[in-house]
Structure 1
Amino acid sequence: MLVVFDVDGTLLDSQHGIVAAMTEAYESHGLDAPAREHVVSIVGLSVPEAVARLSAGFDDHPLEAIGAAFRASFMRARQAEPHADPLYPGARETLEALAARPGVTLALATGNSRRGVERFLDTFELRGLIAASRTADDAPSKPHPAMIRQLCDELGFSPEATVMIGDTTFDMLMARDAGARAIGVGWGYHPADRLHAAGAEAVLSRFDELVAALGLPEPAEAA
């Protein structure tokens, strides 16, 4: 089984950093910053797609410049405080437990940049657990199914043997269109009813519910 995780809002609680960087990006161009709820709603998209949605209806907004300012602000903040955005409770333990299971391979599919994902893997020492990743630099933005299809091809899994774990409708729709299963998490940025409507077969309230949702047997008790 190939288990593909989203990063922001699923493994990493990065909403404060994202909102702060987007606010700085707009204000640096003399523009009113989007409301927090609007910024959170586009987490998971590639930066160009996210900025385009946030600036919809404003033809005078310099989309490319805003996107560049957001990336620069976000990267500065993470370089200054690498652990400012924490992993969600249970994230590391779940990744470690799944990676140790025979027949289970872990991957990432995220709207983050390649540089951002490499920094994420290094900061939280996750390289030994993650077999491959796809980012906004490698494939079209979610919900396009290319990220999952590319991971399946690279790692030798069929879409039917693949499960996407994410917090947004973009993750669920990507999985559906790729022919993979989709499981949502309830601690991220889109509500459970929207995740179900977009194709989630289940929405978790805690990471320790994932093994059962995947259909994997519970680990045997130590003697």
Structure 2
Amino acid sequence: MSSPLRLIVFDCDGTLVDSQHMIVAAMNHAFDAHGLEALPREQVLSIVGLSLEEAIHALVPHVEAPVRTRITESYKGAFHELRSRKDLAEPLFPGVREALDALSARGDTVLGIATGKSQRGLRHALDLHGLRDYFVTLQTADDAPSKPHPEMLLRALRETGAELHNTILVGDTSYDMAMARAAGTHAFGVDWGYHEPHQLEAAGAHLVLSDFAGLAPAADAIWTGRADGNKAAAGGA
């Protein structure tokens, strides 16, 4: 009898790719273009994971909708233009490629992405690092409501045919954890992203990983029933 299909869906920014410098720089440009004062770095990074429109609304809810729309377009333009700056590079987090190599080599496991990026932005990030071929499903804010709505994750399940109990969402924000919980899948947080571990736990993380080396053992513990569904050993130890 063949093993059941297992699916791991990753967030992108803050989980696979460290895009904080680009995000903050592009947001500063967009705010400046519309005469708005730049927000603190921590405040900008707190909305990473939401779709861009939802993120702008969360940052400046007092600004009229037409102006927020123009800020959104300015952010997109700034992000595109700033990609050539070496000081704003978007590197992979340590261990990403090794983890993807190991997971994709398994015959019973497929990988996907669910991100607040656009399809264009996601594909650019994946192509920049040669990661596109690792993933069989790419879910973005172009195709579904913003996190924490579960639709992106549910679309990934439909596209791959994986079952809820065999699916794990890996992300760095409370929006990711809430999305996984709403969809009914397992939720793994990571402590190297843009939300603190206590925020991830409060949003429903089954566990919080301290490095990518801990992902496969933690996933196996969930899938083989050696973890209790709420707590498991995290990290690479």
TM-score (normalizing by structure 2): 0.88
1:191 aligns with 2:164: no
Query: Please, which runs of 5 or more residues in structure 2 have no aligned partner?
Result: 1-5, 225-237
Number of matched residues?
217
Name which of 39, 42, 52 aligns with 2:57: 52
1:29 aligns with 2:24: no
Contact 1:55 1:61 in 2 (8 A): no
Instruction: Quote the Cα distance in structure 1 between the aligned partners of 2:25 and 2:133.
Output: 31
Contact 2:8 2:168 in 1 (8 A): yes
* Worse overlay, 75-84 or 180-189: 75-84
Name which of 37, 45, 48 aligns with 1:40: 45
Quote the residue 1:115 is aligned against: 120
Show CA shifts across 1:175-204 (max 9, x none).
000010000000000000110111111101
Quote the residue 1:7 is aligned against: 12
The residue type paired with residue 125 of structure 1 is G
Q: Against the structure 1 CA distance between its residues 82 and 6, is the aligned structure 2 distance closer, same or farther, given a 3 Å change threshold?
A: farther
* Worse overlay, 56-65 or 181-190: 56-65
The residue type paired with residue 189 of structure 1 is Y
- RMSD of equivalent CA atoms: 1.7
1:212 aligns with 2:217: yes
Q: Against the structure 1 CA distance between its residues 114 and 27, is the aligned structure 2 distance closer, same or farther, given a 3 Å change threshold?
A: same
Query: Please, which runs of 5 or more residues in structure 1 have no aligned partner?
Result: 218-223
Contact 1:163 1:181 in 2 (8 A): yes
Deviating 4+ runs (over 3 angstroms): 58-61, 79-83
**Overall identity of the aligned pairs, in %:** 47
Compute the displacement of 1:81 (Å).
4.9
1:203 aligned counterpart, secondary structure:
strand
Name which of 198, 203, 211 aligns with 2:208: 203
Compute the displacement of 1:78 (Å).
2.0
1:147 aligned counterpart, secondary structure:
helix
Name which of 56, 69, 77 aligns with 1:72: 77
The residue type paired with residue 18 of structure 1 is I
Quote the residue 1:127 is aligned against: 132
Quote the residue 2:102 is aligned against: 97
The residue type paired with residue 183 of structure 1 is F
Show CA shifts across 1:95-119 (max 9, x none).
1110111200000000001001111
